[in-house]
Amino acid sequence: MESNKQISSILFVCLGNICRSPLAEAIARDIVAKHNLYIKVDSAGTGSWHVGETPCENSQKVAFQNSLDISNYKARQVTKKDFQNFDLIVGLDSSNIANLKKIGCQNPLLLGDFGFEGEDVPDPYFFDGFEGFTTVYSMIETCVNTLFEEYNLISTSITNPIQYQLK
């Protein structure tokens, strides 16, 4: 773990950037906002099929049920520049990790390694109905919170200086 380096940016990566990684992004952004942290959070997909699209309806719905609005998120494809621009690159499943490594990401993290014993977050794109999305949401929520805990991001991250001045 890069415990000596201040973590100030996290990128969550799945396949399409329309189901799972937008949820991880929203959950992480919520933690950042609630704790007034200075951490950039984004998400992307390894594939390009859905670039420019908003998250899938069921991800928007489960986010909304958890008081998160992802309706204005737009899918994008991960780029090599991301590997320089983000301190942590976090894949949602092991195929995302393999794809990231193929395009030159040297040390992607697996989200399921944070509180879920290395399990893949299942791809809900072909799920029948909504129910599976609540399971996926809850798994992502657990793992993102655990990631913030394991990297001590809440206690060690620099508080947003602009917000701080306004207080």
The DSSP annotation for 52-100 comes to: TPPPPHHHHHHHHHTT---TT----B--HHHHHH-SEEEESSHHHHHHH
- Minimum CB–partner distance for residue 56 and ligand 4NP (Å): 7
Binders of ligand 4NP among residues 13 to 32 (CB under 6 A) are 14-20
Between residues 9 and 95, which has the closer beta carbon with respect to ligand 4NP?
A: 95
Contact between residue 141 and residue 92 where contact means Cβ atoms under 8 Å apart: no
- Residue 125 interacts with ligand 4NP (CB under 6 A)? yes
- Minimum CB–partner distance for residue 82 and ligand 4NP (Å): 16
In this chain, which of 109, 123, 140, 148 binds ligand 4NP, going by CB under 6 A? 123
Q: Closest residue (Cβ) to ligand 4NP?
A: 16
- Minimum CB–partner distance for residue 59 and ligand 4NP (Å): 8
Please tell me which residue in 42, 56, 123, 143 is annotated as part of the active site.
123
- Please confirm, yes or no, whether 14 is among the known catalytic residues: yes
The pair of three-digit structure tokens given for residue 101, joined into one six-digit string? 């490594």
Please calculate the CA angle 43-3-164 and round it to the nearest 5 degrees: 70
Instruction: Tell me which stretch binds ligand 4NP (CB under 6 A): 32-40, 42-50, 66-74, 104-112.
Output: 42-50
- Residue 42 interacts with ligand 4NP (CB under 6 A)? no
Instruction: Tell me which stretch binds ligand 4NP (CB under 6 A): 10-18, 25-33, 137-145, 153-161.
Output: 10-18
- Please confirm, yes or no, whether 20 is among the known catalytic residues: yes
Distances (CA, A) of 97 to 59, 92, 111, 147, 154: 22, 8, 10, 17, 26
- DSSP symbol at 125: G
Q: Say how far apart CA 167 and CA 160 lie, in whole Å.
A: 11
For residue 52, count CB atoms less than 10 angstroms from its CB and return exposed for 0-12, middle for 13-18, buried for 19 or more.
exposed
- Please confirm, yes or no, whether 76 is among the known catalytic residues: no
In this chain, which of 6, 36, 49, 69 binds ligand 4NP, going by CB under 6 A? 49
